A = this chain, B = another copy of it.
Amino acid sequence: MSLVPSSKRSSSRSVARRQTLALSITEALRQEIVSGVRSPGSKVSEPSIAGSQNVSRAPVREALRQLEREGLVVFDAVGRCRVVELTSDDVEDICGLRVSLESTAASHAAARFSDATQRVLHDNLEQMESATTLDEVSMLDLAFHGEVMEASGRRRLIAAWRAIEPQLRLWLGTLQRRREAISADVLASTVAAHRQLIEVLASGDRTRAREFAAFHVASWVDGNDTTM
């Protein structure tokens, strides 16, 4: 398999680290996990990956640690690594934390909403309106919420979000591999909610932003079946 070329990180905030083998492998593995090529619970050993990617174990090791940070793999007591298996409990956990983080972020974002942010969000909205596949919508949805997080300007809040976002992607992927089509009304309501969130953020009303974000995320969670 070839290493993913990795378009540069969309977020301008995080420091662009020099491209390194460990980074390429991290991205490649993340993609494999989220896309389901590596199924939950399957073993992930350093030598096998090092062999398949034609690198030494060192960068692989580093990549696995990064993926652990993102919650996509877990290490057992003896250091063995496996792809994480998300239970419905885990999903609940993730979503609960997500509500906390996003509502807090929305509150901050409302206090420092910029034109640039608004442009980015509107852009995302337009893309979503013309999206066709469920996968596309999900990714745009995550990107939208990621931008709101970034707009909060709170580094540690963003870091906490980044620690669960890949798990959300993984979960959404699993869901999508069961369904296939995209429900038109879900798309419509998501777009509507996002549009409304932008307005609330632009209004600068922090309390309302917090509450609306909490409500939107929570109802989004309800809209998706969390049982696995």
A190–B11 Cα gap in the complex (Å)?
Answer: 41
Chain B residues with CB under 8 A of A154: 93, 96-97
Chain B binder among A158-166, A169-177, A217-225: A158-166
Beta-carbon contact of B163 and A159 below 8 Å: yes
Beta-carbon contact of B163 and A78 below 8 Å: no
Across the interface, name the chain B residue whose C-beta is closest to A89: B1
Chain B residues with CB under 8 A of A108: 96
Given A160-B160, A163-B159; A100-B93 close (CB under 8 Å): no
Chain B residues with CB under 8 A of A155: 90, 93
Q: A69-B69, A90-B155 are in contact. List 16 more A-B contacts (CB 8 A).
A: A15-B77, A16-B77, A17-B75, A17-B77, A18-B78, A62-B65, A65-B65, A71-B159, A90-B156, A93-B155, A93-B156, A94-B156, A96-B104, A96-B154, A100-B100, A160-B160
Interface, chain A (partner B; CB < 8 A): 1, 15-18, 58, 61-62, 65, 69, 71, 75-79, 89-90, 93-94, 96-97, 100-101, 104, 108, 154-157, 159-160, 163-164
